[in-house]
Amino acid sequence: MAEPKPHRRKSVHHSLGGGLVADVLLWKNWCGGIVVLVSATALWLLFERVGYNVPLPPLPDLKISEQSSVNAADTLQVWINHALSIAHDIAIERNWVLFVQITSGLWVISYIGSVLNVLTLIYIVVLLSLSVPLLYDKYQDQINDKLHTMHGIIQTQYKRFNIPIPLNKEKKME
């Protein structure tokens, strides 16, 4: 029996780009981390709790160039074709796994949207971005062991329900 390969510890600092942003997110640059945390907290308190709202100035006549419109239409066409491809897979090919995944994802997004507003959600993302990389860097081995165990359990469930495991997420667009 072959022994499993030992986990190679990856540098979180390197994974985050290794620059100033990585230093701030991993609290190696304490001053930057404190500035981001205090700024985000002050802005959240100011706009969310105190209710500080300044009326916006009147907008001038806004015009969009024809090239910008064409680029936006092309991008929108790609997105719509992808959505129609997914709808085809669900409706015609009766891909119930994809249907459940999309339904669950939309339900989670709807639930989060009903509980939180955008400003609170941004504040939570800032707090998580300042805490999760630091915790992962500190407890990387234990977290990787738990994720490896969870991956094995999920693989077993996929095999149990006879669900094909997707290997390549790219799909040919027709």
pLDDT tens figures, 126-150: 999 999 999 999 999 999 999 999 9
CA distance 154 to 160: 10
pLDDT at 169 (0 to 100): 53
**Could you tell me if 16 and 48 lie in one domain?**
yes
Question: Does residue 66 lie in a domain region?
Answer: no
Question: Does residue 142 lie in a domain region?
Answer: yes
**Could you tell me if 108 and 131 lie in one domain?**
no
pLDDT at 91 (0 to 100): 86
Two structure tokens written together for 168: 């390549």
**Could you tell me if 81 and 105 lie in one domain?**
yes
CA distance 75 to 90: 23
| CB neighbour list of residue 95: distance below 8 Å, 6 or more residues apart | 89
Question: Does residue 120 lie in a domain region?
Answer: no
CB atoms within 10 A of CB 25: 23
Question: Does residue 25 lie in a domain region?
Answer: yes
CA distance 41 to 37: 6
* Per-residue model confidence as pLDDT tens for the chain (174 residues): 455 555 566 788 888 888 899 899 999 999 999 999 999 999 999 888 887 777 878 888 888 899 999 999 999 999 999 999 988 888 888 888 888 889 999 999 999 889 888 888 899 999 999 999 999 999 999 999 999 999 999 888 878 876 666 665 555 444
Two structure tokens written together for 62: 């806004």
**Cβ(32)–Cβ(19) below 8 Å:** no
Question: Does residue 150 lie in a domain region?
Answer: yes
Tally of domains in the chain: 2
pLDDT at 161 (0 to 100): 75
**Could you tell me if 80 and 103 lie in one domain?**
yes
pLDDT at 134 (0 to 100): 92
Question: Does residue 26 lie in a domain region?
Answer: yes
Phi, psi of 117 (to 5 degrees): -100, 175
**Could you tell me if 108 and 132 lie in one domain?**
no
pLDDT at 163 (0 to 100): 63
CA-nearest of 43, 52, 24 to 133 is 24
CA distance 13 to 9: 12
Two structure tokens written together for 135: 């915790």
pLDDT at 174 (0 to 100): 43
Question: Does residue 61 lie in a domain region?
Answer: no
**Could you tell me if 46 and 131 lie in one domain?**
yes
pLDDT at 98 (0 to 100): 84
* Residue numbers of the domain that contains 30: 12-52+127-164
**Could you tell me if 108 and 23 lie in one domain?**
no
Question: Does residue 147 lie in a domain region?
Answer: yes
**Could you tell me if 133 and 153 lie in one domain?**
yes
User: Is 137 exposed, middle or buried, given 0-12, 13-18 or 19+ CB atoms closer than 10 A?
Assistant: buried
